[in-house]
Amino acid sequence: MASTEELDKVTNDTTDLTINDTKSVNTTAKTPTPAANTDTSNASDAAKNAGAGGTVKTLPKAFRENFKLFSKFGDTKSDGKSLTLSQSDKWMKQAKVIDGKKITTTDTGIYFKKFKSLKIGLSDYHKFIESLAKAKTVSEDDLIQKMADSGTPVSNSNAASAGQIQNTIDRLTDPSRYTGSSKQRFDESGKGKGIAGRKDVVEGAGYVQGYQNKNSYDKTH
């Protein structure tokens, strides 16, 4: 049979355990649970601005800027949000994407017209490049980078330079280059013969017009 002292000890130990368990429960109850992070303020701007298909976010800034510039090229009323096939071809030629061998304007026409619209926006234009690159087995990233590095639209002027014009004038006014009847209008110094060079004068000498060896027979025989 347990003594009174032993019973008191057991009672005290049980009380201590109960108190400790209560403290542990209270501590757990008071520990705050971290709230779920619902702040979306740091969402990617590219993701927010991505258009249909969510592809805009992958395009370089320079590419997007050039898209706006070329979409306005030759069209003063354009808002810069969509471009035509001719504007696209202009851009790709300047970027040397269209080289007439690996990629031609026939290729771009085929894949551009699949969108069944005269103009397409940036997101659809990216899809157009994806389709073109896949069909021609070239790197999509390389095409995009070339177009990003193309620079602003450059006008293709057909006007001849001052030097080219002068060269043409010199060539056309150099008597030494003339042939046939035109050559007969000038003497050896290049001076015009006047009416004698413009009008056939019948001499009755028995030679055809323009014959160069007149009266030379007796000198050689």
pLDDT of res. 210:
67
The rounded mean pLDDT for the chain is: 75
Q: Report yes or no on 163 lying in a domain.
A: no
So what's the pLDDT on residue 49? 42
Residue 138 lies in a domain: yes
| pLDDT, average across residues 150-171 | 77
Please give the residue range of the domain that contains residue 113: 50-148
- Is residue 82 domain-resident? yes
Radius of gyration of the chain, Cα coordinates, nearest whole angstrom: 45
Count the helix, strand and coil residues of the chain and give each as a percent rounded to the nearest 5. Answer: 55, 5, 40
Predicted confidence (pLDDT) at residue 133 exceeds the cutoff of 70 = yes
Q: Residue 170: what pLDDT?
A: 80
Q: Is residue 75 part of a domain?
A: yes
The 10s digit of each residue's pLDDT in 114-129 is 999 999 999 999 999 9
* 31 part of a folded domain: no
Q: If you average pLDDT over residues 197-202, what whole number do you get?
A: 62
Q: Is 39 a member of any domain?
A: no
CATH of the domain at 88: 1.10.238.10
Question: What is the structure's pLDDT at 216?
Answer: 75
* 158, part of any domain: no
pTM over 0.75? The answer is: no
Residue 35's contacts (CB-CB under 8 Å, 6 or more residues apart) are none
> Binning pLDDT at 50, 70 and 90, where does residue 44 land?
very low
How far lies 66's CA from each of 86, 94, 113, in Å? 15, 11, 21
> How many domains does one find in the chain?
1
Residue 113 lies in a domain: yes
